[in-house]
Amino acid sequence: MSRRHDLDRSRHLPGVWSADPRTWCGGAELGSRRPGCCCLHDHQRQWGGRRGVRGGVSIPAEHSGGCHTHGGGRGIRCSSSSPFVDHCTIAGNSSDDSGGGLYCDNSSPTLTSCAITGNSAINDGGGLYGRSSAPTLNNCTIAGNSTSEDGGGLYLSVSSPTLTNCILWANYPQEIYNYAGTLVLTYSNIYGGWFGEGNINADPRFVSYRGYDYLLRPISPCVDAGDPTVEDAIYDWHPRWPAWYPNGARSDMGAMGGPGNAGWLP
């Protein structure tokens, strides 16, 4: 279950692969020193052990799931880096520290059309933990994550994230915990509500279909409720879009909407 790429020639890391055969658990560590990435399933590891990736890499179509780490492990760890993460499912990871799904330290990751779901952390940030970071999330779904402390969905410490067309729902104990930071959140659905243009507080009406989780039902308030200046790539007129799922050109909220939603189709 591994593929290797020469990062001296390419910073495009597709698929599921392991940079270190000695690594027991999935997840990707994105740093500024040594190239590498690991995405395996249903394993355990203690105290990390992953290699890093230089800033500015692109990681499309990854799946990081079923990992448990001690001392902070997470599905993806970013340290002093600015990766682009595209069409990723970061699910079912757990950490005995902070950041069950994604841990950002002094980093500026950009996540597009990603689902961060079912992750957990003993400390802060079940879904995403950000410290001195500026993450950008476009059309992401953050749902069903939990922590014993603060920030079931997002924990932000002295950070300045920007979220657009996102869904934050059913994270415990709260969707967002923001400490001494500046959060820009627009055209998103947040349980309990959040100030910002175009934001709503309504049951997203998730549904699973043909192996895809967190799809939106036709009656979901998130359909055609995203940024009106952004269009979905796939909507009603497209021959590959199922006719029984009405969907206009205006972007939807969540991982399955927006200009990147075509990437989820087989």
Domain ranges for the chain, please list them. 28-190
Token look-up 């980093």 returns: 107
Sites in the chain below the pLDDT cut of 70: 1-74, 235-246, 262-266
Q: With contact defined as beta carbons under 8 Å apart, do 183 and 156 qualify?
A: yes
Strands 120-121 and 94-95: parallel
pLDDT tens digits for range 209-253: 777 789 888 889 999 999 999 988 776 655 555 666 667 789 999
pTM for the full predicted model: 0.77
3-state class percentages of the chain: helix first, strand second, coil last, to nearest 5: 0, 35, 65
pLDDT (0 to 100) of residue 73: 44
CA dist 201 to 188, 241, 251, Å? 9, 27, 17
pLDDT for position 219: 87
**Model confidence pLDDT, tens digit, residues 156-171:** 999 999 999 999 999 9
Q: Which secondary-structure segment (H or E) carries 28?
A: strand 28-30
User: What pLDDT does 57 receive?
Assistant: 47
What pLDDT sits at residue 27? 52
